[in-house]
Chains A and B, each alone.
Chain A
Amino acid sequence: MTDETTRPGAQPPGGTTEPGTAAPDTGTAPGARTSGAPDEAVTDAPAADGTTPEGPPPAALTAPPAGWSNPLRDPRDRRLPRIAGPSGLVIFGVTGDLSRKKLMPAVYDLANRGLLPPGFSLVGFARRDWEDQDFAEVVHDAVKEHARTPFREEVWQQLSEGMRFVPGDFDDDHAFEQLRKAVDELDASRGTSGNYAYYLSVPPRFFPKVVQQLKKHGLADAPEGSWRRAVIEKPFGHDLKSAKELNAIVHDVFDPEQVFRIDHYLGKETVQNILALRFANQMFEPIWNRSFVDHVQITMAEDIGIGGRAGYYDGIGAARDVIQNHLLQLMALTAMEEPASFDAGSLLAEKLKVFRAVRLPDDLGRHTVRGQYAGAWQGGAKVRGYLEEEGIAPSSTTDTYAAIKLRVDNRRWAGVPFYLRTGKRLGRRVTEIAVVFQRAPHSPFDSSATEELGQNAVVIRVQPDEGMTVRFGSKVPGTSMELRDVTMDFAYGESFTESSPEAYERLILDVLLGDANLFPRHQEVEESWKILDPIEEYWASHGRPAQYTAGSWGPAEADEMLARDGRSWRRP
């Protein structure tokens, strides 16, 4: 993998290396090669169609010997990490919160771990009257405050030499001209080889403008043998129609293969571990089906309110904000069949199969619930209700809590409901997937012995306290036969590291490497809107959100929704 992406222009378009000289795979990303090859193929296309490729390719790249493979790399050499090839990252909206708290620290942490190429460059674009030094200063502060790894002067020096800042508005042609110059200058002075990822950390209404400007100024066209990628954050539209429009706009400029949609949940270790848990082990998969599973609950709860995001949140709501992307992705990973291999294409195929097999309940009124938090005391502090939040109209029907029931109509899951819920101002911040198993078909113990016995469950704790819990019954010590639920725990912090990488580190590195495994593709986005749209339409025309006490686990209606099925929500 490393080899592939760090060798710009190595491959003939669409071609693969012959088996004998196959790129040594470091073993960390089996199958990643397959995702590399098409990437290279498509990047060649725009440069060839007559648009001006800018910046002369660096001298050393002019005549790469065909079939060259790096003798210093060897699949047996597992110590050598995946290092991104020569490249740069351009961040739009670099003054935003996400950029300061997540992106910049992640870039530094990657550099600190030695995973960025020498010469890696970071370009900021924003409406500020800054010089390069001012920008470096801002990054410096952000890194010091938020980076995961200790601050080291030499790493900082290496990074800061490649920092540039371009001031301007998104409709300012001059600013994009400046950006083009900055990019060309970096190719010459830092050897970034024309490889750039554009991170659009801006509200979606600016996407069309920014990508059009990139196109207009030739910034989206990769020179021969290099790549240009776009990285976008949610929301990916607010319904199927707008999602399609957005995709059309971005794909008009960037090839679909070169568009990376960030769903930071997919960068989390526990989420990646779902596939390892299911497909690398023998003991879970045999019971991972309708014969043994009673139902699945996927929860993402936040204890905070909407804070200052009223403008963004009102009219969007919890279902669009969270269920459409994060929860449906978690559900797909939980429910999907084994992929043919661990590459982006196979994963996409399996996830799409799940999305297409999803069926909504016939009576949406009985099997979906939405709510709004009402003012109350939460965890020792008095908080306002949603309708009293600043910038929210008292008549708003935006949901801050949503719970839905879905079925997956295939042989594995027929009859097993998937309950998805999310909300703000709930009991505590937690995300988990609980696979709840059926009760034992027969119990030799009498009913008094098993009174306190619940259902077995496998709970994947996505955050915080990442890990996994298995719940099962056990005999209470003593002379009488009495059974009670106990848990068996696996915690990441316990068995591996307190220093497991942040999701953004992993995702940014994957963008630079061109590894699309952990990024939802546009088909997935569109399929998930198809699931959510009918629910949103029903809600728009039926009733109002139920009120729930801030700090509780949601409205009473949600409990009733499960009670109708003879089940109850877990307390996460």
Chain B
Amino acid sequence: MKIDLTDTTASKVNKALVQGRRAIGTPAVGMVLTMVIVTDEENAYDSIKAAEEASHEHPARTLVVIKRHARNPRERTHSRLDAEVRVGSEAGTGETVVLRTYGEVSDHADSVVLPLLLPDAPVVVWWPADAPEIPAKDPLGALGQRRITDLYAVENPMEVLEARRRTYAPGDTDLAWTRLTLWRSMLAAALDQARATVTSAAVEAEADNPAAELLARWLEARLRVTVDRVVTAGPVVTAVRLRTEDGEVVIDRPEGPLATLTLPGQPARRLALKVRPTSELIAEELRRLDADEMYAVALRGEATEETPAHV
């Protein structure tokens, strides 16, 4: 069910939500969190879709904040809020409210979002693109326990990565980091089996890939060795090599979802290592809502001071 509200306020949106739920006969719902998506029209469709898919694992109230740009000065002075309330089958397992802000209210979107947050439940803010410089200081970002940005959606990932490192606050996280989970768990499992001290390492990836840089920094921080960045044709991360005294531990994914794991003295094995869609990344992101300390470690690349000479 869909209810459109033009030139409205947060309290009218709340009324519409209750009205919508009554109409479809589910006055009580077990939503576990509020997801705030801050985006533009261009990215709205895909991110709402991803959030709705993720809501099958984490039923949520999704608030989509879209800032509209007025085309002429007259409209610019006029401030307006339009809302589209979706409940039931059109909103995954939860509820979705698309909020479009025009004019001055765009600068005060937090005042619209605050009354619409679910009581007690945690709040997650996600910027599919155009994240603020300091997510934790952003008025909307400040509402959330967890702030999700995406280094894949910026012009200069390496510069932004540095900015993220400088401005890191507990609760920050990035989808470029989420994309690495499968790689990292396979690397940890491989090292469990190899049981050897790593002397040096290399990450092979396409140029300027922020995930590869995070992976390299994580390896540096954890293994306390120099990690070479090797540029390949991609796509994304293509291989990781951990050199030990016994030989190399390699996970190689030249293309496609099937990778090869090589351990010294053991037969090579194939393993599935696919590039996951955004909805799965978001679902993983929502599984834990406390601060991701390991992301902070990877951002800082703690051991870098001891092992200079890279990039």
Contact = CB atoms under 8 A, between A and B. Distances in A.
Interface stretch (B104-112, B130-138, B186-194, B206-214): B186-194
A72 B265 contact: no
Interface in A80-101: 80-81, 83, 85-86
A430 B233 CA distance: 56
Interface residues of A, number: 53
A6 B192 contact: yes
A70 interface: yes
A49 interface: no
A158 interface: yes
A119 B284 CA distance: 25
B29 A152 contact: no
Contacts of B184: 72, 77, 79-80
A88 B311 CA distance: 42
Given A60-B264, A114-B185, A158-B272, A495 B191 contact: no
Given A80-B184, A158-B272, A68 B195 contact: yes
Given A70-B188, A495-B30, A152 B266 contact: no
A455 B219 CA distance: 59
Interface in B142-188: 178, 181-182, 184-188
Nearest to B198: A71
B19 to A, nearest CB: 19
B272 A157 contact: yes
A79 B181 contact: yes
Contact of A7 (B57, B58, B186, B192): B192
A190 B188 contact: no
B24 interface: no
A31 to B, nearest CB: 20
B309 interface: no
Given A155-B272, A157-B258, A190-B267, A496 B32 contact: yes
Interface in A111-126: 111-112, 114, 117-119
Contacts of A3: 192
A290 B151 CA distance: 58
Interface in B15-36: 28-32
A72 B28 CA distance: 43
B269 interface: yes
B195 A64 contact: yes
Contacts of B93: 494, 498
A117 B274 contact: no
A65 interface: yes
A72 B187 contact: yes
B223 interface: yes
A284 B136 CA distance: 38
Nearest to A189: B267
B310 interface: no
B222 interface: yes
B199 interface: no
A565 interface: no
Q: Is the interface of A mostly helix, strand, loop or mixed?
A: loop
Contacts of A111: 272
Nearest to A5: B192
A497 B192 contact: no
A6 B195 CA distance: 10
A161 B269 CA distance: 9
A6 B189 contact: yes
Nearest to A499: B57
B197 interface: yes
B264 A59 contact: yes
A12 interface: no
A22 to B, nearest CB: 15
A61 interface: yes
Given A10-B195, A72-B222, A80-B188, A60 B263 contact: yes
Interface in A3-35: 3, 6-7, 10
A198 B223 CA distance: 37
Contacts of A58: 265-266
A73 B222 CA distance: 8
Interface in A391-416: none
Interface string A158-174: 10010000000000000
B4 to A, nearest CB: 27
A419 to B, nearest CB: 30
A174 to B, nearest CB: 27
Given A74-B294, A491-B30, A152 B193 contact: no
Interface in A458-516: 489-491, 494-499
Q: How large is the interface on B (under 10, 10 to 19, 20 to 34, 35 or more residues)?
A: 35 or more
A451 interface: no
A374 interface: no
B58 A497 contact: yes
Contacts of B264: 59-60
Interface in B105-131: none
Contacts of B30: 490-491, 494-495
Given A70-B191, A72-B222, A154-B272, A77 B57 contact: no
B270 interface: yes
Which of B193, B196, B258 gathers most chain A CB within 10 Å?
B193
B271 interface: yes
Contact of B181 (A80, A497, A499): A80
A182 to B, nearest CB: 15
Contact of A60 (B187, B265, B284, B294): B265
Interface string B295-311: 00100000000000000
B288 interface: yes
A514 to B, nearest CB: 14
B258 A71 contact: no
A188 interface: yes
A10 B193 CA distance: 11
Interface string B253-271: 0001110010111110111
A512 to B, nearest CB: 12
Contact of B266 (A2, A6, A60): A60
A496 B57 contact: yes
A498 B92 CA distance: 12
Contacts of B195: 7, 10, 60-61, 64-65, 68
B59 interface: yes
B35 to A, nearest CB: 15
A78 B285 CA distance: 11
B272 A152 contact: yes
A189 B267 CA distance: 5
Contacts of A152: 257, 272, 274
A423 interface: no
Given A77-B294, A494-B30, A70 B192 contact: yes
A191 interface: yes
A455 to B, nearest CB: 23
A191 B267 contact: yes
B56 interface: yes
A59 B194 CA distance: 9
A442 interface: no
Contacts of A117: 189, 193
B192 A79 contact: no
Interface in B34-92: 56-59
Contact of B182 (A60, A78, A114, A490): A114
B293 interface: yes
A309 interface: no
Nearest to B274: A154
Given A60-B266, A74-B294, A496-B59, 4 more contacts: A10-B195, A60-B194, A193-B193, A490-B30
18 contacts: A58-B266, A59-B246, A60-B195, A70-B191, A70-B192, A72-B223, A78-B292, A79-B184, A79-B185, A79-B288, A80-B188, A85-B193, A119-B261, A158-B269, A191-B267, A495-B30, A498-B57, A499-B57
Interface of B: 28-32, 56-59, 93, 178, 181-182, 184-198, 219, 222-224, 246, 256-258, 261, 263-267, 269-274, 284, 288, 292-294, 297
